[in-house]
């Protein structure tokens, strides 16, 4: 399990190692045919800041070679905001006093129909709060079965589950799982996740092993930028990705680097990442792992997403609502976070095409299920 692997790496030593990187280390990383974790640390280090143009060129070359000039489109559907966790930064925190919504099968189907009217989406991300009593495996399985006739590719972002539950859901139409570790800083983890299922660091970080053991087709991972030193956190995630590729090599992987957005509760980020630093991180990950899917949600501004679409990103959401039933059923429910890109899917497609890129709405055919 990765929790054992993680014990090999000291947080403070990793931070010091990153900050000690030099211009020579960065140049060596840019020239490497098969960059390793030492190269990745150089590329995310402060020493790499003057090399961002060279990194952008290399990232674009690799991305177009591996993925072509394409951006895959997906859309999230939040089906419940009921949650037993107390994450200090999240609008779904159980201590926030607002009505909790759990969509019924009929309401989920209405949301499916509303999304189909927004655009030709085939990639759906089902999102829940973490409440096993109302949004356990049976509820998730029901939602997958309701959504399956409307979408070719179904991914879930839910509480970490046992391996046998992932196997069960795969048999009910599940294609992928997204889970955010949020931070790999074990010592600080409970500061941000003081209670609820999410307070168990090992259960969460080992969830990716359970996904791999269950044969999940695609695994998405990410850290929340704003909690701890972002360079150290993403280096730990890069180590995690290397471990997963070695042990579950049949699985596809995606990464995401959401920057903290305002939410009810008003937690202020401890770390603020600039657009330039987010671009540097994107380029570093693409140079480090040529095949990983790099995804950007509507948390980011339209201008940034338009630019990164040509330089390293491979998938994006559009037209997103981050509240349960937000597309039709309960458009005024509490959202998990505020979106920055409020363009319609058609507007996003138009802007991407204007930059010489093609939009791909579907990348997984039912015939292969």
Alpha helices in the chain (DSSP H): 2-6, 11-19, 23-31, 37-44, 52-67, 105-118, 137-147, 163-170, 186-192, 201-205, 207-213, 230-247, 275-288, 302-308, 345-354
User: Using CA atoms, how far apart are residues 369 and 325, in angstroms rounded to an integer?
Assistant: 28
| Domain assignment of residue 228, yes or no | yes
Q: CA 259, 254, 32 angle in degrees (round to 5)?
A: 95
- Which residues neighbour 339 within 8 Å (Cβ) at sequence distance 6 or greater? 261, 297, 298, 299, 320, 322
Check residue 254 and give its pLDDT. Answer: 98
Q: Which 8-state DSSP code applies to residue 140? A: H
- Which residues neighbour 357 within 8 Å (Cβ) at sequence distance 6 or greater? 69, 70, 71, 309, 310
| Domain assignment of residue 35, yes or no | yes
Task: State the CB neighbour count (10 A cutoff) for residue 347.
Answer: 14
DSSP string for residues in 331-359 = TTSPPSS--S----HHHHHHHHHHTT-EE
User: Using CA atoms, how far apart are residues 330 and 101, in angstroms rounded to an integer?
Assistant: 9
User: Using CA atoms, how far apart are residues 225 and 222, in angstroms rounded to an integer?
Assistant: 9
| Domain assignment of residue 108, yes or no | yes
| Domain assignment of residue 13, yes or no | yes
| Domain assignment of residue 184, yes or no | yes
| Domain assignment of residue 176, yes or no | yes
- Specify whether the CB–CB gap between 198 and 85 falls below 8 A: yes
| Domain assignment of residue 276, yes or no | yes
Annotate 162-191 with three-state secondary structure: CHHHHHHHHCCCCCEEEEEEECCCHHHHHH
- Specify whether the CB–CB gap between 343 and 353 falls below 8 A: no
User: Using CA atoms, how far apart are residues 166 and 159, in angstroms rounded to an integer?
Assistant: 11
Tens digits of per-residue pLDDT, 216-240? Answer: 999 999 999 999 999 999 999 999 9
Number of domains in the chain: 1
CATH number at residue 103: 3.20.20.70
Check residue 364 and give its pLDDT. Answer: 47
Task: State the CB neighbour count (10 A cutoff) for residue 94.
Answer: 18
What is the β-pairing status of strands 358-360 and 123-128?
Answer: unpaired
**Residue ranges of the chain whose pLDDT lies below 70:** 261-265, 331-338, 363-369
Task: State the CB neighbour count (10 A cutoff) for residue 266.
Answer: 8
Q: Structural domain of residue 107, as residue ranges?
A: 2-363
Cα separations in angstroms, 267 against 89, 208, 264, 280, 347: 5, 27, 8, 26, 32
Check residue 136 and give its pLDDT. Answer: 96
DSSP string for residues in 49-83 = GGGHHHHHHHHHHHHHHHH-SEEEEEEEEEEE---
Bridge partners, 360 (sequence order) = 72
| Domain assignment of residue 369, yes or no | no
User: Using CA atoms, how far apart are residues 343 and 238, in angstroms rounded to an integer?
Assistant: 32
Check residue 261 and give its pLDDT. Answer: 66
Check residue 42 and give its pLDDT. Answer: 98
Q: Any long-range contacts for 95-102 (C-beta under 8 Å, 24+ apart)?
A: 96/264, 96/265, 96/334, 98/264, 98/334, 99/333, 99/334, 100/129, 101/323, 101/324, 101/325, 101/330, 101/333, 102/134, 102/135, 102/139, 102/324
Q: CA 330, 344, 348 angle in degrees (round to 5)?
A: 145
User: Nearest-CA neighbor of 176 among 207, 137, 138, 215?
Assistant: 215
What is the β-pairing status of strands 358-360 and 293-296?
Answer: unpaired
């Amino acid at each position: 399990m990765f929790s054992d692997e993680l014990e090999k790496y000291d947080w403070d030593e990793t931070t010091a190692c990153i900050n000690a990187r030099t211009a020579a280390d960065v140049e060596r990383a840019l020239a490497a045919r098969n960059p390793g974790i030492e190269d990745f640390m150089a590329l995310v280090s402060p020493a790499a800041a003057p090399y961002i143009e060279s990194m952008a060129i290399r990232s674009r070359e690799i991305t177009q070679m591996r993925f072509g000039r394409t951006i895959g489109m997906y859309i999230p559907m939040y089906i419940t905001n009921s949650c037993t966790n107390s994450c200090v930064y999240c609008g779904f925190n159980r201590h926030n006093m607002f009505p909790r919504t759990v969509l019924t099968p009929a309401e989920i189907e209405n949301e499916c129909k509303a999304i189909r009217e927004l655009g030709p989406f085939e990639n759906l991300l089902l999102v829940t709060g973490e409440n096993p009593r109302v949004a356990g495996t049976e509820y998730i399985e029901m939602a997958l079965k309701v959504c399956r006739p409307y979408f070719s590719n179904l991914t879930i972002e839910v509480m970490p589950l046992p391996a046998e539950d992932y196997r069960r859901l795969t048999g009910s139409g599940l294609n992928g799982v997204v889970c955010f570790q949020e931070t790999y800083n074990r010592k600080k983890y409970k500061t941000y996740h003081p209670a609820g299922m999410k307070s168990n660091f090992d259960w969460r970080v080992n969830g990716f092993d359970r996904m791999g053991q269950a044969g999940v087709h695609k695994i998405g991972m990410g850290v929340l930028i704003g909690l701890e030193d972002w360079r150290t956190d993403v280096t730990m995630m890069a180590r995690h990705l290397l471990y997963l590729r070695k042990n579950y090599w049949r699985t596809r992987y995606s990464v995401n680097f959401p920057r903290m957005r305002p939410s009810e509760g008003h937690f202020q980020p401890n770390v603020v990442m600039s657009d330039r630093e987010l671009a540097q991180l994107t380029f570093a990950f693409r140079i480090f792992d040529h095949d990983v899917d790099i995804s950007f949600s509507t948390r980011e501004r339209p201008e940034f997403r338009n630019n990164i679409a040509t330089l390293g990103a491979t998938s994006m959401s559009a037209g997103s609502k981050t509240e349960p039933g937000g597309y039709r059923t309960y458009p005024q429910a509490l959202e998990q976070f505020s979106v920055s890109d409020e363009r319609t899917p058609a507007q996003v497609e138009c802007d991407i095409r204007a930059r010489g890129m093609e939009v791909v709405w579907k990348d997984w055919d039912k015939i292969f299920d």
